[in-house]
Amino acid sequence: MDFLVHHMLRSSAERAPDKESIVCGDERLSYRETWERVCALASGLRELGMERGDRIGVYMEPSVAQALSILAICRAGGVFVPINEVLFPDQVTHIANDCRMRGLVTSKARLDRTKETLSSTETIRFVVVATEDSLPDLGLETRRFQDLTTGSAPSAFREWSIEKDLAALIYTSGSTGRAKGVMLNHAQIMAGSRIVSTYLEIGASDRTLAALPFSFDAGLNQLMTAMEHGATVVIRPFTFARELVKTLVEEEITGMGAVPPLWSLVAQPSSGLHKHPYPHLRYISNTGGAMPPSVLESLRKSLPTTKVFLMYGLTEAFRSTYLPPEEVDRRPTSMGKAIPDTEILVVDDEGKPVAPGEAGELVHRGPTVSMGYWGQPELTAKVLRPHPYLPPELGKEEKVVYSGDLVKTDEEGFLYFVARRDAMIKSSGFRISPTEVEQVLFQSGRLREAAVIGLPDELLGQSIKAFVVPRDGDAIDGEALIAFCAERMPRHMVPRSVEALSSLPKTGSGKIDYPELRRREGLSR
């Protein structure tokens, strides 16, 4: 019986042990090899002192080692915390301290950044490093990844977890403050795999191109759906769009998911997408924001026999809606309808349903609803609430997700995105906290005030604009300020433009008037 995340891998290894499981560059593992290495690594983690429920960070580049680490942490009874490789040291340190991380699996390339994190947290007790070189003296219990995965696992291995146990923390930015950890248990991750596999019709013959990071819920789902069905996941770290296209051809990829900026690069003539036939490519999928019509048109022209799935989701509930490929011509701007085994409600401020054409908040009900935010019960209670329609005897026993997204439906029930309720910026598929960007701007030492908003952008979804007030007597060089941010934040968080003002607009209570800044840019909110 499969009720834990790693059970999906175990079952596939039993069904087809010699089937290709994970591919990355020249490294290729069968399902038998993948399961053996996962079991060995899980045993190694326990020998290092990992206990049930311990949070273990995975901070490394897209790789076979990254995938094995995620699965092995589950097997060992821990909680995996995937950390995007592009994050900067203070962001990694925040995550480690926030979840009281017990161990860290990292790579040689990320070790220099990791050292700062290790010296800034009191909870990390061991480090596993993917390297062929000698291990540095970190002042902690340290092991080489390769040594832990090449040994044999003990025949007797007690499994501690049940499906209700926490399996993962996916860190995502909030409208205020720093990144927060969305808690997912085994059942929720497996439900996401089962549901997406249903409408994408994923099976053992599929070869999925994993171009999204596993720290992103959609990227993680690609790994899980492959493990569930005994398919092959081909991990391709992004370099150039033409390299992705080359992988589509050489690996006979059957499915690929991406976010709009990546699809835009793939759709460019320089990628060479239009030069090849793709007889194996059954589908492509988009998430993390609306795909620009021009990009969609170009992709469909180059991939005439490939189905296009346009999807919408939120980390707190994974995936919410998808637009069936046969509806793309009729309603290309629609978010579609609810994914299988899920109900989507559109409600007003009082929790009552709105009529077609009227804007209301999207509310998600289903088995992928998360457990809430790690260490933030008040925020969890704000986002995860009782079902608004059910009688109290039932509604209080089930939590639904209030997304903060305003949507509307047409007469046939298809959904359309309207706007965000809060100040969150969504760019390149990432949710970005304005506060976190503002904090880095202030680190320049040149500013008295700063405020960040998102502007509509056909490619990115939203681009970031910063309004700044310089310190008295200081002049502001916008390009220099952008360069300062680029040295301290991932690319998707760096402002695209900076405007200097003599003062920022304020509300009656003295707070920065963000709606007024948006109105200055011709936005309605």
pLDDT tens profile 255-287: 999 988 889 889 989 999 999 999 999 999 999
Q: Within a domain: residue 303? A: yes
Long-range CB pairs of 7-11, under 8 A, 24+ apart, other chains included: 8/190, 8/193, 8/224, 8/227, 8/228, 9/34, 9/35, 9/38, 9/71, 9/227, 10/35
Q: Within a domain: residue 205? A: no
Instruction: Tell me if 67 sits within 8 A of 223, measured CB to CB.
Output: yes
Q: Within a domain: residue 239? A: no
Q: Assign residue 43 the CATH number of its domain.
A: 3.40.50.980
Q: How many residues does the chain have?
A: 525
142 and 14 belong to one structural domain: yes
Amino acid 479: pLDDT: 93
Q: Within a domain: residue 280? A: no
474 and 512 belong to one structural domain: yes
Q: Assign residue 482 the CATH number of its domain.
A: 3.30.300.30
Amino acid 461: pLDDT: 87
For residue 146, what are its two tokens? 């390769």
Rounded Cα distance between 370 and 316, Å, is 5
325 and 411 belong to one structural domain: yes
Q: Assign residue 354 the CATH number of its domain.
A: 2.30.38.10
Instruction: Tell me if 282 sits within 8 A of 307, measured CB to CB.
Output: yes
Question: Which of these three, 358, 390, 420, is where a domain ends?
Answer: 420
Parallel, antiparallel, or unpaired for β 343-347 and 360-365?
Answer: antiparallel
Per the listing, tokens 């002049």 go with 475
95 and 11 belong to one structural domain: yes
Amino acid 69: pLDDT: 98
321 and 445 belong to one structural domain: no
Question: Which of these three, 130, 151, 185, is where a domain ends?
Answer: 185
71 and 156 belong to one structural domain: yes
Q: Within a domain: residue 194? A: no
Domain of 364 in residue numbering reads as 286-420
364 and 470 belong to one structural domain: no
Is residue 40 classed as helix, strand or coil in its secondary structure? helix
Cα dihedral sign for 176, 458, 82, 16? positive
Per-residue pLDDT reduced to its tens digit, 99-149:
999 999 999 999 888 887 888 898 999 999 999 888 888 889 999 999 999
Amino acid 280: pLDDT: 97
151 and 88 belong to one structural domain: yes
Question: Which of these three, 133, 150, 185, is where a domain ends?
Answer: 185
Q: Within a domain: residue 507? A: yes
**Low pLDDT (below 50) residues in the chain:** 175-176, 509
> How many CA atoms, within 13 angstroms, populate the side-chain half-sphere of residue 74?
29
487 and 377 belong to one structural domain: no
325 and 387 belong to one structural domain: yes
Q: Within a domain: residue 511? A: yes
Number of domains in the chain: 3
513 and 404 belong to one structural domain: no
80 and 142 belong to one structural domain: yes
Q: Within a domain: residue 473? A: yes
Amino acid 174: pLDDT: 54
